[in-house]
Structure 1
Amino acid sequence: MGQDARTGPEKRGTTAPEVQGRGVGPDYSGPGVEAELRGAGPDTGTGSGAGDYETLYTARASSGGDRTGRVTTDDGQLDLEVRAPEQLGGPGGAPNAEQLLAAAYAACFHSSLELIAGRSGVDTSGARVDTAVELRKRGKGDDYAIAVDVTVHLPEAERDTAARLAGQAQEHCPYFKAVRGNVDVGVQLA
């Protein structure tokens, strides 16, 4: 594994000191990032009951057949057979829920990294975000949890700058905000 992007004794899922109190623009990333970078985007409105947030995009997906079935999106862009992995007693041979989460988390975090780095004028050529999603179990009951490890590759940035940007991207990533306090998330540099 690479070096942890946080400094000091921070625990996973906490805010690194170098990130606290920094203002880097609107507090969102992911859907709408491209529009913001182009200077286009929806007009500000009253929101949809989620605090002061305005809905920029809604993704809809359906799953049938438990962990062996199909997952589809309403627009037909995603239509996958899914199967439980062999490691969990399934047949394997198709994507599984943990892989889908890993891919989605990597894409969302990468969008946040591009937005934050772009605002700082940092070259993101060759930037990449790798994720590892672990399904964990405690005891003999049905006590399951998810953990996410994020590895940031920002080869055109100095190491200190890359660490700062990774911390800021984490704080602005909507997926991190959604799981904060409930999922063990670690961010490190490659």
Structure 2
Amino acid sequence: MHPSRLLARPLSAGTRIMQGAAGRYTVFPNNLHGRGMLDIKDHIYFARATAEGEGRNGIIKSMGDVPLELKMATPKQAGGKGDGQNPEQLFAMSYASCFLDSLQLVASRANRMDIAEKVKVHSAVFLGHPKDPSLPGFGLRVEVDVEGCDDDEIIGEAHEGCAYSRALRHGIDIKVSKI
């Protein structure tokens, strides 16, 4: 079975529906806002995770360098029990960590590490319904706040280099297949 290729794009983009061998997909255009998708030529690391059970109320496992297993739960605000983690929490944590690393790298390269030593990066991930009623499902909005660094140029360069910022700005290549 050949994997089906999907592009992750912001929900504001125009969509078209494509019927694939494994089902129905929402596919976003390759050239959003005049930019092409960011492709990687190689990889230096990869992570693998498995979700099983009751979706948002199941179990997720990662068998990477340091194995991790979490109980997932739909937040109370979304009608769930809220007795576990949820994807939005994990995404917010990962984004904040990646952005902080990018900011410290940029500051170090500019010989300005002093401005990044005590920086904190706060991220918020909002789950909600798309404004466009023709789009099914949910969408995300992300807000990133940098505390302790007043250098707009360093913050801007960190945003340009952060893998999560790039993924959301340029899109990512997603392959979905049946096994």
TM over 0.5: yes
Q: What letter corresponds to residue 70 of structure 2 in structure 1?
A: L
For residue 75 of structure 2, what is the aligned residue in structure 1? 85
Structure 1 alignment gaps of length 5 or more: 1-49, 183-190
Question: What is residue 63 of structure 1 aligned with on the other side?
Answer: 51
Give the 3 Å change call, closer, same or farther, for CA 146–181 of structure 1 in structure 2: farther
Deviations 1:33-60 (CA, angstroms, capped at 9, x unpaired): xxxxxxxxxxxxxxxxx85633110111
Q: Residues 114 and 63 from structure 1, CA distance in 2 versus in 1: closer, same or farther, beyond 3 angstroms? A: same
Q: Within 1, Cα distance between the matches of 2:97 and 2:129?
A: 26
Range that drifts further, 115-124 or 73-82: 73-82
The root-mean-square deviation of aligned C-alpha atoms, in Å, is 2.0
Alignment of 1:102 onto 2:96: no
Provide the C-alpha distance between the structure 2 equivalents of 1:152 and 1:77, rounded to a whole number of angstroms.
30
The amino acid that maps onto 2:97 is A
- 2:41 matched residue in structure 1: 53
Matched position secondary structure for 1:130: strand
Give 1 or 2: higher strand fraction.
Answer: 2
Query: What's the CA shift string for 1:154-179, capped at 9, x where partnerless?
Result: 34xxx3xx211111100111111111
Aligned residue for 2:81, secondary structure, equals: coil
Q: Distance in 1 between matches of 2:141 and 2:162?
A: 16
1:147, 1:84 → 2: CA distance? Answer: 18
Count of aligned pairs between the two proteins:
128
Structure 2: segments with no counterpart, 5+ residues: 1-37, 172-179
**One-letter amino acid of the structure 2 residue matched with residue 84 of structure 1:** T
1:18-40 Cα shifts (integer Å, max 9, x gaps) = xxxxxxxxxxxxxxxxxxxxxxx
Q: Which residue of the other structure, out of 139, 143, 148, is the alignment partner of 1:149?
A: 143
Mapped pair 1:129 → 2:121: yes
What CA distance in whole angstroms lies between the structure 1 residues aligned with 2:142 and 2:100? 14
Aligned residue identity for 2:43: T
